[in-house]
Structure 1
Amino acid sequence: MTTLADFSATTLAGQEQQLSEHLGSVVLVVNTASKCGLTPQYAGLQALHERFGTQGLAVLGFPCDQFMHQEPGTEAEIAEFCQVNYGVTFPMFSKVEVNGEDAHPLFQWLTGAHGEEIPAGPIEWNFAKFLLGRDGTVLRRFAPQTEPSELADEIEAALAAQR
């Protein structure tokens, strides 16, 4: 069975990271953008990171420029934007595509079938969210418009259920 552990990604700093490093944590994967109407969600994602990080939550941000060119910056510009404007300290990765033939393998897997309760299909927009259990499997998929604060109960349940 495929899990988060089967993937790697390049950080904004250019380092290849095995995502298996996050096994044992509850993980929230989000495709992000700096010039989107939903960009203020960075603040909510950072708040989740601060609230639940010590309990085992890992928020992973993946910038994407596929939606109306809303992430035009370089990796350095993205890192600076996130830090200066939202104080982001959770891991951010290099720009990826999330849909189509050139989609990052992680997103090809995330948008695939994961049971009847989790909708498969392309990502609709920036800030789609995927909640993964400590074992690296997909627990839930959330629409881009879902505010990070609305995920707190789901995150708490995932943290409690998989100790």
Structure 2
Amino acid sequence: MNHHREIAIVRWPGQTPPIEDGLAALLAAYHLRTEAEKGASVADVHGLPDRYRAEITDPRTAFAGDVVLVALLDDTVVGCLVVTSPNNGQSEIKRLWTDPESRGRGVASALLGAALTQAAEHGVHTVRLSVWEWRTGAIALYEQLGFTTTQSWDERKQLVCMQRSL
């Protein structure tokens, strides 16, 4: 397998190959894995909380006003990320997920780079995110990209809040 194929980052919805099913599959994998890691494993998407199920079944409505970035290798959806609409000069990165078979190829880094560019182009001065403390690989990546731990804005235990100035 060629590991040097170019990763394309596209904005969804947009002028791209049909990717909605791939996006839904990534969001489902993200939420199912997160619930399992939190100790609340569910068998399938029907067992997820309503707000997460809504993202999978109707991402257009769930992320209305936000920017959804999707990573493609050839025409295969391999990663996703959501950048919330700017609010008082801040945006939040959510739902960063790379298909496990595509990890180690720079997909997450490419998505994050595109997200930071997107935010800067829209006048954002601070990008923030939250990540579960056990996702040490993700935390290390965020730190490499200049994110630092900050005071939590979320009451959930084991959640690390980070931010980066642009």
Indicate the TM-score class for this superposition, using the shorter chain for normalisation: under 0.3
For normalisation by structure 1, the TM-score amounts to 0.26
Which structure shows the bigger proportion of residues in strand conformation? Answer: 2
Task: Select the structure with the greater relative contact order (CA < 8 A; seq sep ≥ 6).
Answer: 1
Task: Tell me the TM-score normalised to structure 2 length.
Answer: 0.26
